[in-house]
Amino acid sequence: MDAAQTAGVAGVLDPGGWTQACLSRGGTRFCGARAEAARAIRLLQVDTTRSVIDYSLTRRATLAALFGGRATTTDVCDAHPYLLRAAKFHGEPTDDPCPVCHKDLLTHVTYTYGDALGEYSGRIKATRELAPLQYEVSEFTVYVVEVCQTCGWNHLRESYVLGHGGRTCNGAEVARLQAGGRRVRHSRERALSE
């Protein structure tokens, strides 16, 4: 039983990836848009993913405060100029519209931090770079930030720890990864593939 099944997520898997995700809780089954939060549980299809944190509840609370009048647009749309620049040049586009302005699609920026990365800690990485990196580095943390380049909305979407944790990989496993035998697929890639 994989992590998705233990978390109550069921889905139909085809060769291209997830086609439908459903959440089962207390005998009730939700499919489609209501299962989006459950789909975040299945962030990566790799062995070394651990300490997964989904920030969708804090995102929802922030948006509720904004639309309830307890926060202003200036409070929540405060992206730093460097974050906006990173989203423009290094971000990965999604199909999700901005929840504040609804004018632009969100962009995900993926940061990697960890002592094992040395001078490369704090750098932005593309999703495709994470799979090989997890077998080269013992442990590092990945933070995914969603950004609207139009209004400046930004929020931490998810974080997780990757890395081999001291486990050594044989040459065949590393070669398979470099040949594309296993891909990192978190929420933004599933959204783009559907």
- Per residue in 98-108, pLDDT (tens digit) is 999 999 999 99
pLDDT for res 5:
39
pTM over 0.95: no
**Can you give the pLDDT at residue 186?**
53
Q: What is the pLDDT of residue 131?
A: 87
188 or 61, greater pLDDT: 61
Q: What is the pLDDT of residues 17-73, one digit of tens each?
A: 333 444 444 444 445 444 443 343 344 344 578 889 999 999 999 999 999 999 999
pLDDT of 10 higher than 70: no
Nearest to 151 by CA among 86, 94, 76, 71: 76
Q: Is the confidence at residue 113, as pLDDT, over 60?
A: yes
How far apart are the C-alpha atoms of 125 and 78, rounded to whole Å? 23
CA distance 57 to 155: 11
pLDDT digits (tens, 9 = 90+) for 118-170: 999 999 999 999 988 888 899 999 999 999 999 999 999 999 999 887 765 55
Provide CB contacts within 8 A for 118, sequence distance 6+. none
* pLDDT band, very low/low/confident/very high, at 78 (cuts 50, 70, 90): very high
